[in-house]
């Protein structure tokens, strides 16, 4: 068989026929690509770029090469797990073994390496208070075993899928009297809360069994560790603090969570969208939030589609932030009275329905003529609620509630009506403990 010299043919025909030149050039390039000579990932322009793109997965050279070359989007989760953690392919529900567009009910950490990294990030802070350490959705226990190795005396794991129980039982045998296994998804407390209200069962109390009752100013009564990519959970935390239900029914609960960078940004930085700015205002007012580090997104299943696709605005597909979120212990004493917290929540929620809502026109609806007072405090007719910082929002609320017309204003009637609607939608009237709540601060 005669060997074809593409480059010689290319030079010979270039001057005669440009179309032939292009055709031969294309043939030559395809040939080289097929032999992996000209693959862009094999051309390292700078050594620093090579180091930055490198993913440290030591379990298998082939897999490591695929990830380093940016081929993860073509990587099958099952192939990845067969090297990293084969037992997941055998026992894990199939819905977690594929790439998904939408957020599922939970995520599983599948690498012991990032389980160790996660624990290293939180252990110094966690060791200060280990009243009731709860891990959400442990799966095969990659995080659990590292918590136990780090010296956590007792770990309560909440796992909704019983297929993982045999693996967890083996871990329980290895660490006798230190690991308790419970069935359930503790990060779906909002769903359990709603279900309890519908059928009057005690799912929440069962989840919180053995969690001690503490005063709000004391150390947290529970320390929850896990991963969530669901904003519903973070919304439920606001609800829990405001109405002292669910996680906060026995005192303050602290959380060590792996969350998406985009979600972390919403909780900590001003937002252009009103609904997102509501999260920012409430979290900065009600919670202490601390970024402890990050772990690889690749270590959690299911994967989102286009796992390593870069986004200029965030890094959701490359890593997760490991953060601590804890309700402020002295919020009620220093900033808000207990009888004000519900009305403050409604004040923020109502006035952040739209980015176009302006302070003076909106508050004039509640208390006619109050615009002059607001102008004296350097607000103008164009100042919007979405322009306010958390401290400015709180100060505006405290000014608003200090006016003599406040207690007879339409604002309180609106707030009470909204709360009654919420009660009816959830179930029995006392579930939010609002029937006797004096939100008017009389």
pLDDT for 194:
82
The label of the residue with tokens 């180091």 reads: 51
109 is in an annotated binding site: yes
Query: How far, rounded to the nearest angstrom, does the alpha carbon of residue 389 sit from its chain's CA centroid?
Result: 22
SS3 209: coil
Token couple for 295: 């772990």
For residues 41 and 329, give the distance between their C-alpha atoms in angstroms, rounded to a whole number. 52
Provide DSSP, 365-424: HHSTTTHHHHHHTT--TT-BGGG--HHHHHHHHHHHHHSTTGGGSHHHHHHHHHHHHHHH
Strand-pair category, 179-182 with 222-227: unpaired
pLDDT tens-digit profile, the chain (442 residues): 545 454 445 445 444 554 554 454 455 555 555 444 444 444 344 444 444 444 444 445 556 665 555 556 667 889 889 889 999 999 999 999 988 877 777 899 999 999 999 999 999 999 999 999 999 999 999 999 999 999 999 999 999 999 999 999 999 999 999 999 999 999 988 888 888 878 888 889 999 999 999 999 999 999 999 999 878 899 999 999 999 999 999 999 999 999 999 999 999 999 989 999 999 999 999 999 999 999 999 999 999 876 655 554 567 888 999 999 999 998 766 778 877 899 999 999 999 999 999 999 999 999 999 999 999 999 999 999 999 999 999 999 999 999 999 999 999 999 988 888 776 655 433 333 333 344 333 3
Q: What is the DSSP letter of 256?
A: E
Residues 288-299 pLDDT 10s: 999 999 999 999
Beta bridge partners of 179: 155
* 3-class DSSP state of 327: strand
Phi, psi of 56 (to 5 degrees): -90, 90
Q: How far apart are CA 80 and CA 264, in angstroms?
A: 28
Find the helix packing angle between 165-174 and 142-149, rounded to 10°.
10
pLDDT, position 287:
96
Residue 5 confidence (pLDDT): 53
Q: Which two tokens stand for residue 52?
A: 């930055």
pLDDT number for residue 431: 36
Q: How far apart are CA 224 and CA 234, in angstroms?
A: 13
148 is in an annotated binding site: no
pLDDT at 30: 52
Note whether 303 and 77 are within 8 A (CB): yes
pLDDT digits (tens, 9 = 90+) for 184-230: 999 988 888 888 878 888 889 999 999 999 999 999 999 999 999 87
- Three-state secondary structure call for residue 335: coil
CA distances from 237 to 253, 352, 383, 419 (A): 10, 18, 29, 18
Helix (H) or strand (E) holding 109: strand 108-109
Spatial distance between the Cα atoms of 164 and 318, rounded to a whole number of angstroms: 27
Angle 264-265-269 from CA coordinates, rounded to 5°: 130
Judge contact between 439 and 337, C-beta under 8 A.
no
- Residue 93, SS3 per DSSP: coil
């Amino acid at each position: 068989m005669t060997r074809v010299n593409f480059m010689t043919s290319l030079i010979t025909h270039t001057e005669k026929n440009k179309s032939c030149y292009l055709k031969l050039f294309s043939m030559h390039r395809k040939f080289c690509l097929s032999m992996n000579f000209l693959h862009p990932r094999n051309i390292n322009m700078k050594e620093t770029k090579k180091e930055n793109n490198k993913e440290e997965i030591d379990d298998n050279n082939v897999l490591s090469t695929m990830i380093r070359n940016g081929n993860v989007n073509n990587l099958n989760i099952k192939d990845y797990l067969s090297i990293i953690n084969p037992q997941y392919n055998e026992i894990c529900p199939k819905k977690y073994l594929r790439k998904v567009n939408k957020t599922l009910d939970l995520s599983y950490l599948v690498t012991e390496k990032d389980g160790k990294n996660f624990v290293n990030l939180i252990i110094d802070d966690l060791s200060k208070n280990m009243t009731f350490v709860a891990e959400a959705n442990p799966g095969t226990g990659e995080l659990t075993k590292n918590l136990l190795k780090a010296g956590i005396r007792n770990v309560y794991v909440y796992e909704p899928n019983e297929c993982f129980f045999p693996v967890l039982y083996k871990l329980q045998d290895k660490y006798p009297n230190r690991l308790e296994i419970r069935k359930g998804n503790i990060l779906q407390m909002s769903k359990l809360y709603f279900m309890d209200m519908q059928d009057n069962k005690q799912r929440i109390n069962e989840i919180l069994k053995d969690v001690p009752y503490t005063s709000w100013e004391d150390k947290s009564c529970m320390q929850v560790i896990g991963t969530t990519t669901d904003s519903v959970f973070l919304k439920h935390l606001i609800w829990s603090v405001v109405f002292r239900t669910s996680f906060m029914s026995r005192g303050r609960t602290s959380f060590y969570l792996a969350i998406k960078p985009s979600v972390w940004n919403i909780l900590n930085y001003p937002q252009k969208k009103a609904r997102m700015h509501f999260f920012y205002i409430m979290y900065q007012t009600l919670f202490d939030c601390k970024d402890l580090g990050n772990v690889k997104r690749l270590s959690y299943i299911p994967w989102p589609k286009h796992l390593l696709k870069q986004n200029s605005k965030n890094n959701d597909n490359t890593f997760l932030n490991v953060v601590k979120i804890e309700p402020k212990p002295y919020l009620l004493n220093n900033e808000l009275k207990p009888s004000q917290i519900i009305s403050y929540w409604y004040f923020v929620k109502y006035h952040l329905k739209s980015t176009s809502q302006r302070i003076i026109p909106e508050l004039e609806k509640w208390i006619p003529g109050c615009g002059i007072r607001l102008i004296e405090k350097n607000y103008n007719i164009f100042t919007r609620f979405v322009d306010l910082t958390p401290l400015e929002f709180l100060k505006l609320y405290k000014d608003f509630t200090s006016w003599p017309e406040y207690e007879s204003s339409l604002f309180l009637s609106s707030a009470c009506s909204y709360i009654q609607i919420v009660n009816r939608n959830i179930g029995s009237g006392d579930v939010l403990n609002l029937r006797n709540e004096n939100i008017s601060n009389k």
